[in-house]
Structure 1
C-alpha cells in the first residue's frame, strides 16, 4: 500500500473521507470532492467551493445582490506518538464578497448587523470558519480516543454543517432551519473529547455558546460556557445517523439573558449513481427551547450528480419562527413578539458543468425558491407564496486519483 493510501485511514482504519464538518461523519459512499497530496510525512488535503451569484428575493421584504459565497479548507495530517495528528483551517471571504450584512434570503433570521437583528438575510461566514487541531489514537483494535481543540470550530452537537453535506454541497443557500440545527459550526472556543469505533462515535464538548459577532475578520473572545454531546452511528457505507443535545448560553447578543437547549437528530444517506455520479439525501430535525417555549424545524434535501455534466438538487425546509425572530411589526395592530408561525421553504436547483480540468470543474446553474406562509404574514411579505432565486457560476475541485480508484466515480 502506498504512503498516501495508508494515511487516508485513521488508527482504527476509518477513512479520512468519512469526515464532514468538525468531527462529524458522512456516508463513505459519497465523499466530498477534495485534492490530496503527500509532503514528506504529511498528508495534505484541499477542499473548497466558490460561487459568483446574483441573488433576487421578491416581495416588499425582498432585495437583490451581486456577490460571492466561498470557502476553502486546508488540512494536514501525520502520524504522531502512536496516533494521528491533524491540523486544519477553513477560511471564507464572505465578509468582503457579500458584506457583513450577508445576502438576501426571505424568512431567514439570526445574528446581527449594526446592532440590529438580521432578518430576511443570511449572515456571512466569518473569515476564520475553522482553525483547529485533532488527535486520534487507538486504545485497542476496536476502540479509539479522539480530542479536538479549536479557537474557531464546531462542537459535537448538530448534524454535518450544510455546506459539507453531500446532499447540499452545490446548494449555495443556507437552510431557514440553520439556527435550529447546525449554526454552531462556527464557535469561538471548542474542546471536544470522545471515544469511537469503526462504526460509532460518542463525543462531548464544551464551547462558546455566543453566535459570532459583527467583526467577521478576527477571532471573537474565546469562552467555554456551553456544553453538548452527540452520538453517531455509521450503519454501513451508505447510511449515517446521529443525535445530539446542547446547552447554549446566551447565543444572541441582543438577548443576553436568554439561553437555549437544543436537540438535533439527522439521517444521511448516499450511494453511487452510475460510473460518474452519486445521489445523497439528508433528513434533519432540530428543536430549540428557551423562555419556556419550544420551536421545531425539519429539513429534507437531496442532490444528484447525474453524470459528468449535470447536477440537480432540492430542499424542503419547515421551521417555527417567532414574530421577534422575523422582526415583524409589534405594538398596536402588530404581532406579539412571542407569536409563532410555521413557515416553509421549497427550493430546486440545477448545475451544468462547462469546463473540466484534471483537478477542478466549473459550472453554471440556478436555484429557485418558493416560500409558503400562514395567512397572517401575507400582508407583510406581499403574498402567502413569496419567491426568490439565484443565478450563479460555481467552481469546485474534482476527487483525487486515489478516490476515483476506490469509488470508481470521477465527479
Structure 2
C-alpha cells in the first residue's frame, strides 16, 4: 500500500475562486433578474422523476429542462443532475463547472504499467436569451490531460490514436486535447413545442452517439475511460463541426458536417478543419427518466496513421436515470456501437454501465464492456492485425466531503478485470486485473 499511496501523499488542493455572485448551490440559485425562465411542468414535460426541490432552468436549445442537455447537442434523461454554478451580469447568464482527478493507476500483467496523472475538465458557458424566445449559448471546455504526457495512462485492452505520430497507442488511453470544446449554439422556437437550432464547434462534438463518457451520469464518477470509447463517442472532440437540428417536444432530429480525422499527437494546437464527414442522429426522451438515441456517421480518414481508411459507424443507446429521495440518484447506460471499414469488415462494441448515489456523499459505479478489436496486436509491417473479442469489467466507489456550497473533495478507488481469448493469454499473462486510487475536486 505504501507504493500505491506515496504518489498521492504530496498532492495539494486546488483553490478555485468564484465570483461573489456565484456563491450558491446549483439546486438553489438566488433569484436573478436575467435568469432564464424555468421549463414549466405543464409544457409537456413529465417531471415526476425529479427531486421535488430541484430548480429546473430552461434548456439552451429548446423549451425543455436544462437537465436534458449533455455534451455537444446530445440528450440525457430530464431527471439528470445539472452541475454548475450560475450567476448573471446584464443580459448574460454564466455557468462554471469543474472536476479534477489525481489518479494512481496500475495495470497488471506483461503488458501492464502504472502511472500517476491528473485528468478532468473545466467548463464555462455564457448564455443570452432574447425577447423572441431565441437563445445564444457560448461554451468552452479545457482539460489537464495533455500534462500527463503523449502516452496517456495505462488501460489494458484500450487502443486508438497515436502518441508520437508514428506509433499507435495500445493498452493505453490517449490524453484528450487541452481545448476540448469552443462552441456556439443558437436556438429559435417555431411553436410552443417546435424549435430549430444550429451548433458550431472548433473543436466540438457532432451528432453521433450517446453523451461523451465524462458527461454521462453513469460514468462521470469513474476516472477510467471505457474501452468502447472509439465505438461510441470518440468524435466528441473534432476540429470543425456544424450541426443543424429540429426538435418537437420529446423528439429531436439533427445532422452534422465535421472533420473526420482524430486529433493529432500534439494536444495543445488546433488542427485544420476539413468538414469531410457527416452524421445524423435521432433522439427521443419518452419520459423524464429515459433517453434513447440512434445515430450513423460516415467518417473520412479518422486515424492519422491510416489516412486512406474510412469508417462508417452506427450507435444505439438507452439511458435511464431516476431520483432517489431528495439528493440521491441512479443512472444506467446500455449502448452498442459498430465500426465498418472500407472492406466491409465490421467490429462491434457493447457497454453496460451504472452508478448509484444514495446521498451527496457516496457514489458506487460499475461497468462491463465487450469489443471486437484488431488493434491489440499490430500486423507485421504495421497496420491492424487479427480480430479478437475481449472484455473488461470494473467496479468502484467514491466518497465526497462538501467543503463549501460549491466545492467538494472526494476519495475513491476502483478494481477492474480483463478477459482475453486463449491466443492472447501469453501476451497478457492470462486474464490480468488492475485498479485505480484517486482523489478529486468538484466545483458545481
Cα 1:279/1:209, change in 2 over 3 Å: same
Structure 1 residue aligned with 2:298, among 223, 236, 247?
Answer: 247
Structure 1 residue aligned with 2:136, among 70, 85, 95?
Answer: 85
Matched-pair contact (CA < 8 Å) for 2:377–2:386? no
Q: Which string of whole-angstrom CA distances, capped at 9 and with x for unpartnered residues, describes residues 19-76 of structure 1?
A: 1100001111122422111122111111221100101011111111111112111011
- CA–CA separation in structure 2 for the residues paired with 1:112 and 1:80: 44
Find out whether 1:366 has 2:418 as its counterpart.
no
Q: Which string of whole-angstrom CA distances, capped at 9 and with x for unpartnered residues, describes residues 244-283 of structure 1?
A: 0000000001111110000001101101112221110000
Matched-pair contact (CA < 8 Å) for 2:103–2:223? no
| Helix, strand or coil at the partner of 1:187 | coil
Between Structure 1 and Structure 2, which shows a larger proportion of strand residues?
Answer: 1
Find out whether 1:375 has 2:425 as its counterpart.
no
| Equivalent in the alignment of 1:299 | 351
C-alpha deviation, 1:359, in angstroms: 0.7
- CA–CA separation in structure 1 for the residues paired with 2:86 and 2:158: 36
Mean Cα deviation higher: 7-16 or 284-293: 7-16
Cα 1:308/1:337, change in 2 over 3 Å: closer
| Helix, strand or coil at the partner of 2:231 | helix
Find out whether 1:185 has 2:216 as its counterpart.
no
| Equivalent in the alignment of 2:87 | 37
| Equivalent in the alignment of 2:159 | 109
- CA–CA separation in structure 2 for the residues paired with 1:234 and 1:336: 41
Q: How does 1:189-200 map to 2 (within 5 A)?
A: 189-200=240-251
Cα 1:194/1:45, change in 2 over 3 Å: same
| Equivalent in the alignment of 1:318 | 370
Matched-pair contact (CA < 8 Å) for 1:111–1:211? yes
Find out whether 1:350 has 2:397 as its counterpart.
yes
Matched-pair contact (CA < 8 Å) for 2:351–2:369? yes
Q: How many residues align?
A: 391
| Helix, strand or coil at the partner of 1:316 | strand
Matched-pair contact (CA < 8 Å) for 2:68–2:78? yes
**Gapped regions of structure 1 (runs ≥ 5):** 399-411
Normalising by structure 2, we get a TM-score of 0.85
| Equivalent in the alignment of 1:231 | 282
C-alpha deviation, 1:198, in angstroms: 2.2
| Equivalent in the alignment of 1:213 | 264
Matched-pair contact (CA < 8 Å) for 2:330–2:357? yes
C-alpha deviation, 1:95, in angstroms: 0.4
Find out whether 1:132 has 2:183 as its counterpart.
yes
- CA–CA separation in structure 2 for the residues paired with 1:80 and 1:100: 43
| Equivalent in the alignment of 1:391 | 437
C-alpha deviation, 1:235, in angstroms: 1.0
- CA–CA separation in structure 2 for the residues paired with 1:165 and 1:204: 22
- CA–CA separation in structure 1 for the residues paired with 2:364 and 2:348: 28
RMSD across aligned C-alpha pairs, in angstroms? 1.7
- CA–CA separation in structure 2 for the residues paired with 1:286 and 1:23: 19
- CA–CA separation in structure 2 for the residues paired with 1:161 and 1:366: 22
Q: How does 1:17-28 map to 2 (within 5 A)?
A: 17-28=67-78
| Helix, strand or coil at the partner of 1:4 | coil
Find out whether 1:147 has 2:178 as its counterpart.
no
Find out whether 1:289 has 2:358 as its counterpart.
no
| Helix, strand or coil at the partner of 1:33 | coil
| Equivalent in the alignment of 1:9 | 58
| Helix, strand or coil at the partner of 1:378 | helix
Matched-pair contact (CA < 8 Å) for 1:61–1:380? yes
Matched-pair contact (CA < 8 Å) for 1:306–1:312? no
Normalising by structure 1, we get a TM-score of 0.92
Matched-pair contact (CA < 8 Å) for 1:12–1:197? no
C-alpha deviation, 1:321, in angstroms: 0.4
| Equivalent in the alignment of 1:53 | 103
**Gapped regions of structure 2 (runs ≥ 5):** 1-30, 39-56
C-alpha deviation, 1:336, in angstroms: 10
Matched-pair contact (CA < 8 Å) for 1:21–1:154? yes
Matched-pair contact (CA < 8 Å) for 1:32–1:166? no
